[in-house]
Structure 1
Amino acid sequence: MNDAAPAPTPAPAPRRRARVRAPELIGKGGWLNTGGTSYTLADLRGRIVILDFWTFCCINCLHVLDELRELEEKHRDTVVIIGVHSPKFVHEADHAAVVDAVERYEVHHPVLDDPELATWKQYAVRAWPTLVVIDPEGYVVAQHAGEGHAHAIARLVEELEAEHEAKGTLRRGDGPYVAPEPVATDLRFPGKAVLLANGNLLVSDSTRHQLVELAPDGESVVRRIGSGERGFGPDAFSEPQGLALLPDGRVVVADTVNHALRVFDPATGAVETVAGTGRQWWQGSPTSGPALEVDLSSPWDVAWWQGRVWIAMAGVHQLWTWDPEAGTVRVAAGTTNEGLVDGPAAEAWFAQPSGLSAAGDRLWIADSETSSLRYAEPDGEGGYAIRSAVGTGLFDFGHRDGDAAQALLQHPLGVTALPDGSVAVCDTYNHALRRFDPATGQVTTLATDLREPSDAVLVGEDIVVVESARHRLTRLRLPEEAVRVDAVAHRTQRAATEVAPGTLRLDVVFQAPAGQKLDTRYGPSTRLLVSSTPPELLAEGEGPGSDLFRELVLNPEVTEGVLHVSAMAASCDDDPANEYPACHVHQQDWGVPVRVVADGAVRLPLVLAGLDA
């Protein structure tokens, strides 16, 4: 044990405007939301450009899309937001899938499809999401990784507007966004489905912000619930996803972008909010208490299990529960760290859990970002344990049947317990329905050519699959034998960072935004958590701390792996006259693939917020 006092966090460097010319925007996939026009940075000169490096699998990227909506609307005549779509999964490099995602998540700005990560590499991006601000003269002036930066960027935009208005270098006017033509379908990117007591099917029509009740044929619309406009009220939802039937016949709805749980009563048509405040949960917020007073974060699915509603809290990589009788919520599993770690529920790691299905003493979980099938079960001591059935981690995925230890999935979003004890998995990015049999430990393929299946529900001897990207429900007869497919294995195409064996200096770069200061009223305002996969990669430096720098020691016998870094910083408005200044949380998780080589880097900079590294 080292009893010496820890070194103080270095004071932030003085703010300076870095005169770094922004690299050109290139991407083989071309441009979306521009009416077919391609753009260069020269075309955008005179405008403030915000590049949003995102990928549509990433819940944090979806959070940032929502954070930017107000800024985008308020500064529409001076700011151009450009989404640079930078894929992680093979499916995300499919141009048609990007087109779908842009509509699905109501992206109302131009998007550059960059399937080979060309622009990502030019800007030295290391994490999804990352925001880069370019001034009207074409220079990079700020870079922010993670969530929680919208307020800082809004302040910077106002400064840049004033500065360049005075210099005569600001050009106001309409932006390059051209809305695509709407398409008429009964459903639009539906998310989840549930079988009602009357035999009808209730579907979350996510992009249209509604629930839709369909007749047993899965096609005829009986009624729509919700106005169809994004909102948070008795007649409004915001991208609802998961649905679960309560014992009394009512339906719990994961109202995802409202960060809330709603209950819909099919008998009366009434909708009420039962959990969540409408605000997104941030580190340091309560994790238990009265359900209507505790913030949630992108609940994606729900299931009734062991007398409570279990919630796949995709936004913070956890499972939570809602107790209807007590009217309370609490964390049930997960640490908020992103990855695949099994064990006691309080110590487990998840990565965007997105599908739940209860079966006896197991709660099956589709853990999408680790491309895995997992489950929770009682541990015999009054708690729960988390186990993995299929999948190995954040960067390995594909389509491979066979023994579960070798089988591969690709970003599954749904899971359905079957009558024989096996589990159907909506293997979303493989466009397939897969099956895992715990009795044999084998994974097989039940059906292919399903366009982004996101959920499935049993109806008699059939299974009805939500084909999200085909905007429909598809009924299948469960076959006795699986369809055989050729095995395909992938690793993310993101390049590994070459680092030297031995000591590696980790620096998380954070500068409090202009007009703010680090919030030290209640102790350290920063937090850093470091771990690795495999654990043997790190000889020293694992664990939590309050400094945003760390001396890591790499094991020379481990040649490659992933460094998991989680950083948080809190800043408050620096106004002595304000007794109650507004405070803000900036946070980001990185999974950095590394390769240990003799001439590798000895410093690993990760930008949380700043001008450069």
Structure 2
Amino acid sequence: MNDSTPRRARVRAPELTGKGGWLNTGGRQYTLADLRGRIVVLDFWTFCCINCLHVLDELRELEEKHRDTLVIIGVHSPKFVHEADHRAVVDAVERYGVEHPVLDDPELATWKQYAVRAWPTLVVIDPEGYVVAQHAGEGHAHAIERLVAELEAEHAAKGTLRRGDGPYVPPEPVATDLRFPGKALLLPSGNFLVSDTTRHQLVELAEDAETVVRRIGSGTRGFHDGAPGTASFNEPQGLALLDGPQGTAVVVADTVNHALRRLDLATGEVTTLAGTGRQWWQGSPTSGPARETDLSSPWDVAVFGGKVWIAMAGVHQLWTYDPAEGTVAVGAGTTNEGLVDGPAGEAWFAQPSGLAVSADGERLWLADSETSALRWVDLGGEVHTAVGTGLFDFGHRDGAAGQALLQHPLGVTVLPDGSVAVSDTYNHALRRYDPATGRVTTLATDLREPSDAVLVGEDVVVVESARHRLTRLRLPKEAVRVESTAHRSRREATEVAPGELRLDVIFQAPAGQKLDTRYGPSTRLLVSATPSELLLSGGGAGTDLYRVLTLNPQVAEGVLHVSAMAASCDDDPMNEYPACHVHQQDWGVPVRLVPGAADRLPLVLAGLDA
């Protein structure tokens, strides 16, 4: 060892102080004198910061390997107002699985004493109480591991190393069905799929959003494919339906595994779509085969423009996954952190964390959390900002979008009228941005860190992450208004049997006319469904006015969209140029799948004699 290196300078470590007190110590308050004889690593962090969360994960192996000589102390140093709330810090420590003591320093007293300038910063203190190293940013675990080994050898030889159990005391576990859920998805069945982030599982809830139907994942941190009970995740977040052959698959943003996973809804089988399990670093490939390319903290996913778009929070970008090609690539962003609009390759983001596609499929809305912004990407790749001005401007203010303020939002949800609900996480609120008026309003408050919301009819179901539950709210009338060019049917759904359903479009040519087949088929039938998962087979176009459809028994209800056309001409053999007429009708038929109900659906095309 070379005692002349900067890290060996004899600088006494300042005392640890913080008005919020200590967590994970069983109620005991600590001083540096209490830790004398141990190697101490101070981790200055704040729970909004994705780089800080990366460091928490980097330190886990080091913490376990040197548990009898090393004490890691998290010094929580808030950026946002909400992060200065002691209760929020308590939640974050559990949410992110922090297994070492944490000093809550809401006024940044210790931060100032150590002259820290950035999140995250790591400070190493030797067993005699002197600062020997300081590192800003992430990716330093390997260097600190070497330093810890050197300090162990040096102070064991000097007799100044003290081994034994550290000060960490785990909190008592709390029994709840969900624990800090992250995102939710409405399934074709009407049930909800929820990423139960802290328990490293996916949970399917019944339509009441409370009753647990099944759990997927072992419940321990890991990266294993397989059956529901053996597959493992690591703090999963975003969920989106994939357009598989039967529409029964979900793509999962497996955040701390830096991967995309695929869940087969029918079997519960979990496989890996993208990512290697390693975190992407500058200089790594930014495109290529999905299973061979590193990702970085994917936080949400959405299907947009035929690809799965990924909110890559860890590198402040949007990436895409192409299911057909099995490849990933950067979709937008430079990795620079900030708020800059413009072409995809020039835009800047800051921890994009929530995605939603507009009803017309032309906008990808996103919650850009660290800039407290609502932004969108158009089909041409241009990036725009609706609400938000930068990394350090935040608050809770309604009004014109240019003046409105959010605070670290994590989720976005498109509402029936085309407006956007924002899960304004650190304001404990659900906000609404209306593109038609350019104004922001508040829909609900007192929602304890809402991180996502799901539209269900004229209700919205909010993921209250810090209350460990889903909460149903009724939307105000203005959020469910229908534009004058759209139509909404209020009629009762038609009950039909799941499985095979014969669709018959009944057409009779008017008196004195007949179907004219001289130039080919004179009829056409087009069938589709909403949701698309309702229709397992029988969709598409054809020339017969009947069709055998197969309805998915896992989808409780939906709408069959039927378009039929028939051409008839005057039935007069003496007329060389008969008059012809086109008869066309479109139906949107609400259906409810009920075992034992009718297996035939007759529709009468205009032109039938009365």
* 1:16 to partner: Cα distance: 5.1
> What is the correspondence of 1:491-506 to structure 2 with a 5 Å cutoff?
none
Give yes or no for the alignment of 1:237 onto 2:228. no
Aligned to 1:89: 80
Structure 1 distance, partners of 2:180, 2:18, is 26
| Residue type at the aligned position of 1:124 | A
Structure 2 SS opposite 1:396: coil
- Structure 1 residues 85 and 152: alpha-carbon distance in aligned structure 2, compared to 1, 3 A threshold: same
Q: Deviations over 1:295-337 (max 9, x none)?
A: 0000000001110000000000000000000000000100001
- The answer to whether the 8 A contact 2:332-2:345 is kept is yes
Alignment: residue pair count: 466
Give yes or no for the alignment of 1:430 onto 2:427. yes
Aligned to 2:204: 213
> What is the correspondence of 1:34-113 to structure 2 with a 5 Å cutoff?
34-113=25-104
Aligned to 1:294: 293
Aligned to 2:349: 350
RMSD: 0.9
Task: Pick from 451, 454, 466 the counterpart of residue 451 of structure 2.
Answer: 454
* 1:14 to partner: Cα distance: 5.1
* 1:479 to partner: Cα distance: 1.3
> What is the correspondence of 1:192-231 to structure 2 with a 5 Å cutoff?
192-231=183-222
With the length of structure 2 as denominator, give the TM-score of the two structures.
0.76
Aligned to 1:506: none
* 1:149 to partner: Cα distance: 0.3
Structure 2 distance, partners of 1:154, 1:276, is 26
Structure 2 distance, partners of 1:270, 1:46, is 49
Structure 1 distance, partners of 2:210, 2:141, is 41
Q: Deviations over 1:395-424 (max 9, x none)?
A: 010000000000000000000011111000
Structure 2 distance, partners of 1:419, 1:237, is 33
| Residue type at the aligned position of 1:260 | A
Aligned to 2:148: 157
Structure 1 distance, partners of 2:268, 2:122, is 42
Structure 2 distance, partners of 1:442, 1:86, is 33
Aligned to 1:140: 131
| Residue type at the aligned position of 2:19 | K
| Residue type at the aligned position of 1:238 | N
Structure 2 distance, partners of 1:15, 1:433, is 50
- The answer to whether the 8 A contact 2:305-2:379 is kept is no
Aligned to 2:513: none
Q: Deviations over 1:349-391 (max 9, x none)?
A: 0000000000121000000000000000033xxxx11000000
Q: Deviations over 1:499-528 (max 9, x none)?
A: xxxxxxxxxxxxxxxxxxxxxxxxxxxxxx
Aligned to 1:325: 324
* 1:480 to partner: Cα distance: 2.8
Structure 2 distance, partners of 1:461, 1:270, is 33
Give yes or no for the alignment of 1:246 onto 2:247. no
Aligned to 2:472: 475
Aligned to 2:493: none
Structure 1 SS opposite 2:382: strand
| Residue type at the aligned position of 1:430 | N
Give yes or no for the alignment of 1:370 onto 2:362. no
> What is the correspondence of 1:381-392 to structure 2 with a 5 Å cutoff?
384-392=381-389
Aligned to 1:166: 157
Q: Identity, % of aligned pairs?
A: 84
| Residue type at the aligned position of 1:26 | T
Structure 2 distance, partners of 1:331, 1:397, is 28
* 1:268 to partner: Cα distance: 1.4
- Structure 1 residues 16 and 272: alpha-carbon distance in aligned structure 2, compared to 1, 3 A threshold: closer
Structure 2 gaps of 5+ residues are 226-230, 480-610
Structure 1 SS opposite 2:325: coil
Structure 1 SS opposite 2:345: helix
Structure 1 distance, partners of 2:113, 2:348, is 32
Structure 2 distance, partners of 1:356, 1:33, is 34
Aligned to 2:438: 441
Aligned to 2:566: none
| Residue type at the aligned position of 1:261 | L
| Residue type at the aligned position of 2:354 | G
- Structure 1 residues 137 and 327: alpha-carbon distance in aligned structure 2, compared to 1, 3 A threshold: same
| Residue type at the aligned position of 1:237 | F
Structure 2 distance, partners of 1:34, 1:95, is 15
| Residue type at the aligned position of 1:411 | H
Aligned to 1:487: none
* 1:15 to partner: Cα distance: 5.0
Aligned to 2:578: none
Structure 2 distance, partners of 1:338, 1:164, is 41
Aligned to 2:519: none
> What is the correspondence of 1:11-22 to structure 2 with a 5 Å cutoff?
15=6, 17-22=8-13
| Residue type at the aligned position of 2:76 | H
| Residue type at the aligned position of 1:259 | H
Aligned to 2:362: 361
> What is the correspondence of 1:411-422 to structure 2 with a 5 Å cutoff?
411-422=408-419
Structure 2 distance, partners of 1:15, 1:29, is 33
| Residue type at the aligned position of 2:276 | T
> What is the correspondence of 1:587-602 to structure 2 with a 5 Å cutoff?
none
> What is the correspondence of 1:305-324 to structure 2 with a 5 Å cutoff?
305-324=304-323
- Structure 1 residues 16 and 194: alpha-carbon distance in aligned structure 2, compared to 1, 3 A threshold: closer
Structure 2 SS opposite 1:38: coil
| Residue type at the aligned position of 2:37 | G
- The answer to whether the 8 A contact 2:464-2:470 is kept is yes
* 1:81 to partner: Cα distance: 0.2
Structure 1 distance, partners of 2:179, 2:379, is 38
- The answer to whether the 8 A contact 2:251-2:261 is kept is yes
Structure 2 distance, partners of 1:260, 1:368, is 20
Aligned to 1:505: none
Structure 2 distance, partners of 1:444, 1:481, is 11
Structure 2 distance, partners of 1:262, 1:74, is 29
* 1:119 to partner: Cα distance: 0.3
Structure 2 distance, partners of 1:460, 1:184, is 31
Structure 1 distance, partners of 2:267, 2:38, is 51
Structure 2 distance, partners of 1:469, 1:346, is 36
> Which of the pair has more CA radius of gyration?
2
Task: Pick from 390, 395, 417 the counterpart of residue 398 of structure 1.
Answer: 395
- Structure 1 residues 298 and 16: alpha-carbon distance in aligned structure 2, compared to 1, 3 A threshold: closer
| Residue type at the aligned position of 1:242 | G
Structure 2 SS opposite 1:43: helix
* 1:346 to partner: Cα distance: 0.5
Structure 2 distance, partners of 1:412, 1:257, is 20
- The answer to whether the 8 A contact 2:21-2:29 is kept is yes
Structure 2 SS opposite 1:346: coil
Aligned to 2:267: 268
> What is the correspondence of 1:526-537 to structure 2 with a 5 Å cutoff?
none
| Residue type at the aligned position of 2:156 | E
Structure 2 SS opposite 1:96: helix
Q: Deviations over 1:43-71 (max 9, x none)?
A: 10000000000000000000000000001
Structure 2 distance, partners of 1:167, 1:191, is 49
With the length of structure 1 as denominator, give the TM-score of the two structures.
0.75
- The answer to whether the 8 A contact 2:23-2:90 is kept is yes
Q: Deviations over 1:256-315 (max 9, x none)?
A: 000000010111111110000000000000000000000000000000111000000000
Structure 2 SS opposite 1:172: coil
Structure 2 distance, partners of 1:264, 1:249, is 9
Structure 1 gaps of 5+ residues are 1-12, 483-613
Give yes or no for the alignment of 1:118 onto 2:109. yes
